[in-house]
Amino acid sequence: MSGWQALPDDLPPEVRHFVEQLRQLKDRTGLSLVALGARTAYSKSSWHRYLNATQPPPRQAVAALCRIAGLDTTDAERFGVRWELAVEAWPRPAAEPARAAEGEKGEESERYEDDPTLPWWDEPPKERASGMNRLLLAAALLLVLVLLLGLAGAVASG
Helix axes 95-102, 105-114, angle to 10 degrees: 140
Calpha distance 16→32 (Å, rounded):
21
Q: Is the distance from CB of 116 to CB of 50 less than 8 angstroms?
A: no
pTM: 0.59
- Can you spell out the DSSP letters for 101-153? HHT-HHHHHHHHHH-TTS-GGGS-HHHHHHHHHHHHHHHHHHHHHHHHHHHHH
Predicted confidence pLDDT, tens digits, the chain (158 residues): 458 899 988 999 999 999 999 999 999 999 999 999 999 989 999 999 999 999 999 999 999 999 999 999 999 999 999 999 999 998 877 655 544 555 554 444 444 445 555 554 445 555 555 666 788 888 999 999 999 999 999 999 87
Rg, C-alpha atoms of the chain: 23
Calpha distance 123→126 (Å, rounded):
8
